[in-house]
A = this chain, B = another copy of it.
Amino acid sequence: MRTGKAYLECLPREKSWELWQNKLMSAGYFTDLPTETLPVEQALGRVTAGCTYAKQSVPHYNGSAMDGIAVRAQDTFGATETTPMHLKLLKSHEPFVPGGCYIIDTGDLMPAETNSVIMIEDVHIENASAEIIAAAAPWQHVRIIGEDIVANEMVLPEHQVIRPADIAALLSAGLETVEVVAKPKVTVIPTGTELVARSHDLKPGAILDVNSHMLCAAVTQWGGDAIRHEIVPDNYEQIKQAVIASLATSDMVITNAGTSAGTEDFTSRIFAELGEVLVHGVAIKPGKPVILAFCQGKPVIGLPGYPVSAMLTAELFVKDVLYERQRLPIPAAQQVPAVLARQLSSHVGVEEFVRVSVGTIQGKTVAAPLSRGAGIISSLIKAQGVLVVSERSTGLPAGAMVQINMFNRQQSETVLAVGSHDLALDILGVFLNRRSGKLLSAANVGSMGGIMAVRNNEAHIAGIHMLDDKTGEYNIPFVNKYLTKGNWQLVRLARREQGLMVLPGNPKNIKTLEELGREDITYVNRQRGSGTRMLLDHLVPRTGLRVEHITGYEKEVSTHMAVAATITAGAADTGLGIRAAATALGLEFIPISHECYDILLNFPPGDITAETIITILQTPAFRQEVERLGGYDLAEAGTVLLKM
């Protein structure tokens, strides 16, 4: 029997970072920087390795800064409007004579013995003479040699990021090449027998290697030179050889374990054999199994296999090391205070990184936690930021004030949709972005959760489809019951078909809801509070069947698509859901009912977003795009049903 993973002591993140940083500093990883020499015009964004000094002055000659005449200033003293003075116009090849002048253009070399320029606008030229009506000061309108940069002067100090204007300055100063800090070479080794490189080789149980591409992109974004190693299977000797070979050619080696158990143990033993393991296991979630080691003078990092864990641990333990190694400024994380939309539980002793959607609702910045699964890459796509929950916390109540580390410093305004999810919402998001530049971020918590989120001003939009068991009416009774005053309005999005999804060919020959009572049929259910669950609970008793008799009634999943996926996988025979979900996964669909999917809009007076959304719902382009999914009727889309 396997003994489970043998973690070394699980260290707090700060302690891990300290050990890591101290080791790298004492080993000279941030000071003995390799450099390379580049043509100046290819050095954009690179960091100067040393101070650069001008090889020539800029300008390199005394030149005119204006179109005009070049004069000797002392010859002009005494000229005024009432006592104009006439200077003799000399040809450019003629030597200077006192009282003479030359026509000169901007940038032209000042003729010998002249030391001042009078602008052409202030000169009256007739025959071979120039009339002036004011004296010229010495060196006026002349660009003196070295006025900008003097030979041997420092042009750029060391460790400066080179910008376009710096390129101009270096070239002007006569430098054709510049020594810059070399990009750190980082090899990323994906390990795991279950990994496959391409999606057409993907069979159940196999995992597509996407992490190595994500990590290489992250390394690139952080200024490094990323090298992706081919996939190495879970074999001690093969992984070891891959690490040894990569150490020889890289400044940093990252292995990314598959999620299967064996790989990570191999990794840690290999690192220990080749050098020193500083940290194995950090008290964070996700990302706990990270390994920080130092082998042959180089940092070697074992990142966990789940994509979210891999990305977050790379940000914690790779990013700043790469920036510092290159002397690139570390981008400061922007923090915003926000109100937590939902209660969050947490374990003492583990620092947790929770992805959140962030939006401003009625003047209040709200953070809505997204899925916390380490495997849910889409949560990283949808998140606007991360909430760090302290290792001393047992959790946070809804409404708590929290600090969110924002992912992008450049934020679009976010419209938060919390409630029952529908594919039409994603399409609404695209149209809204086109019209207003706003970003729609959707969190799926069911219809009831949506109404509550609007009531608490924690959502701009809530998608709901709730059937009142007594009246048979959709949504309006619930909104009237739970919402009182406010700025909300209830708007029709679509009528959509609900039905039973079954495998192609309908192998169990299911036709009606009554048949869910059959012993040979297993059902997959939606969670309590979801509109689909309410529809089922409304309809089933009317057929004479009792829900307790449905096999699988207790198997709850939280989206239409998860119902469809469960059926596709053969883990259930049927489930109730919308046609679009069945279509998406190629299932057959047995229509049972129509329901009204409406949206609650919650924007303050004067905010035109609600208007914009209603307009979008009424446009033919939006309606066609949604109806194309199948099972939708948008004839009433954009109708305001209730307004407060």
Chain A residues with a Cβ under 8 A of chain B: 1-2, 4, 40-41, 44-45, 51, 55-63, 65, 67, 105-110, 112, 115, 120-121, 125, 138-139, 143-159, 163-169, 171-172, 174, 176, 194, 198-199, 202, 204-205, 207-208, 210-211, 213-218, 220-221, 258-261, 305, 307, 311, 329, 331-332, 373, 375-378, 380-381, 409-410, 412, 423, 426-427, 429-430, 433-434, 552, 554-557, 559, 561-562, 564-566, 568-571, 581, 583-585
Contact = CB atoms under 8 A, between A and B. Distances in A.
B557 A144 contact: yes
A427 B570 CA distance: 73
A146 B561 contact: yes
Contact of A210 (B163, B172, B311): B172
Contact of A167 (B60, B166, B214, B261): B214
Contact of A149 (B60, B378, B569, B571): B378
A582 to B, nearest CB: 11
Contacts of A107: 194, 205, 207, 258-260, 305
A150 B375 contact: no
18 contacts: A61-B204, A62-B566, A107-B194, A112-B570, A139-B556, A139-B557, A145-B566, A146-B564, A147-B375, A147-B376, A147-B565, A148-B373, A150-B585, A153-B584, A154-B423, A154-B430, A168-B213, A329-B410
Nearest to A199: B174
A229 to B, nearest CB: 14
Contact of A145 (B214, B220, B568): B568
B168 A211 contact: yes
Contacts of A169: 377-378, 380-381
Given A2-B67, A168-B311, 17 more contacts: A1-B125, A4-B121, A41-B213, A56-B199, A57-B585, A58-B377, A107-B305, A112-B570, A115-B571, A150-B565, A153-B584, A154-B430, A165-B311, A165-B377, A168-B377, A169-B380, A329-B410
B171 A213 contact: yes
A62 B307 CA distance: 17
A242 to B, nearest CB: 20
A107 to B, nearest CB: 4
A562 B412 CA distance: 49
Name the residue among A156, A167, A171 with the largest chain B CB count within 10 angstroms. A171
Name the residue among A159, A216, A307 with the largest chain B CB count within 10 angstroms. A307
A147 to B, nearest CB: 6
The 9 closest A-B pairs by CB, nearest first: A146-B565, A150-B561, A61-B204, A168-B214, A152-B584, A164-B217, A109-B205, A145-B565, A164-B218
B44 A261 contact: no
Given A144-B557, A145-B568, A380 B165 contact: yes
Contacts of A568: 145
A217 B149 contact: no
A564 B156 CA distance: 22
A564 B205 CA distance: 77
Given A146-B564, A164-B221, A375-B143, A426 B2 contact: no
A491 B29 CA distance: 36
B423 A167 contact: no
A407 to B, nearest CB: 8
B61 A205 contact: yes
A109 B260 CA distance: 12
A110 B208 CA distance: 18
Contacts of A378: 58, 148-149, 155, 169
Contacts of A213: 40-41, 167-168, 171
Contacts of A112: 570
Nearest to A124: B1
A207 B554 CA distance: 81
Contacts of A198: 176
Contact of A426 (B40, B41, B154): B154
A426 B45 CA distance: 22
A376 B410 contact: no
A156 to B, nearest CB: 7
A556 B139 CA distance: 8
A422 to B, nearest CB: 12
A145 B259 CA distance: 17
Contacts of A202: 56, 60, 174
Contacts of A214: 164-165, 167-168
Contacts of A172: 208, 210, 307, 377
A156 B410 CA distance: 18
A216 B41 contact: yes
A165 B381 contact: yes
B156 A381 contact: yes
Given A115-B555, A150-B561, A172-B210, A215 B164 contact: yes
A141 to B, nearest CB: 11
A611 to B, nearest CB: 22
Given A375-B65, A426-B154, A554-B138, A569 B164 contact: no
Nearest to A258: B107
A199 B176 contact: yes
A106 B146 contact: no
Nearest to A58: B377
Given A106-B261, A153-B584, A202-B60, A4 B566 contact: no
Contacts of A148: 373, 375-378
Contacts of A311: 164-165, 168
Contacts of A259: 106-107
Contacts of A376: 147-148
A62 B569 contact: yes
A307 B171 CA distance: 12
